[in-house]
A and B are shown apart, each in its own frame.
Chain A
Amino acid sequence: DIVMTQSPDSLLVSLGERATINCRSSRTLLYSSNNKNYLAWYQHKPGQPPKLLIYWASTRESGVPDRFSGSGSGTDFTLTISSLQAEDVAVYYCQQYYFTPLTFGGGTKVEIK
């Protein structure tokens, strides 16, 4: 199985500051035939279902604010929130969909400093 490792486990960021979350895969998620990385990012707030933010490592889902961006390729990926807002407090998960079983990272909790 592909193991997804996120860091840090938690993050304290001031309002308006940048938040950076890392995700490392135990195998490459880059499919050479289409040059796409099979990696998604989700935001999960308490009492709500998870919300898809990013797929193909860097494609923002419709309606997601542009302060959220995804980058990286192969085995190392990053989710960046360029200017943290109060409503961004949540747990963020990466997920690989290159191989089954589909696997998630352990999550990164983002809070306001």
Chain B
Amino acid sequence: EVQLVESGGGLVNPGGSLRVSCVGSGFTFSSAWMSWVRQAPGTGLEWVGHIKSKTQGGTTEYAAAVEGRFTISRDDSKNTLYLQMTSLKTEDTAVYYCTTFIVGAMASDYWGQGTLVTVSS
């Protein structure tokens, strides 16, 4: 059974930093393309960014709203995906989900339960 478990969310001051993690199991983590999707309170879903598998370059892409502030990385030895967030803004407050992509398509077939990040003073 595929499982994705996020952790590391919490309350952080504007301008601060936070790293959230996602541990995957039940699938070949190293082969998977992974993404982060967020949902701010009362709004819809927003793609944050994704990372390819290392065999396909391990490259990342980001939404414009987070480019230069957020970094996605992966440690395949630990089956873990990371989202490093810096220079946080109040509008980054959201539930952050990690997801896997279907092979050959950037549609998210598995999702974690999400971790809440609150940016507030």
Interface set of A (CB-CB < 8 Å, partner B): 38, 40, 42, 44, 48-52, 55-56, 61, 91, 93, 95, 97, 100-107
Contact = CB atoms under 8 A, between A and B. Distances in A.
Interface residues of B, number: 21
Contact of A44 (B45, B47, B102, B113): B45
Given A49-B97, A49-B112, A49-B113, A40 B107 contact: yes
A100 B61 contact: yes
Contacts of A103: 47
Contacts of A93: 44-45
Interface string B63-75: 1100000000000
Interface string B22-47: 00000000000001010000001111
Given A50-B97, A52-B107, A56-B105, A104 B61 contact: no
Given A40-B105, A52-B102, A107-B45, 12 more contacts: A40-B107, A40-B108, A44-B45, A48-B113, A49-B111, A49-B112, A52-B107, A55-B102, A61-B109, A97-B107, A101-B63, A104-B46
6 contacts: A40-B105, A49-B112, A49-B114, A51-B111, A101-B61, A107-B45
B11 interface: no
Give 6 closest A-B pairs by Cβ, nearest first. A49-B111, A40-B107, A97-B106, A102-B47, A55-B107, A104-B45
Interface string B48-67: 00100000000001011000
Given A49-B112, A101-B63, A101-B64, A38 B105 contact: yes
Given A49-B112, A101-B63, A55 B105 contact: yes
Contacts of A100: 61, 106
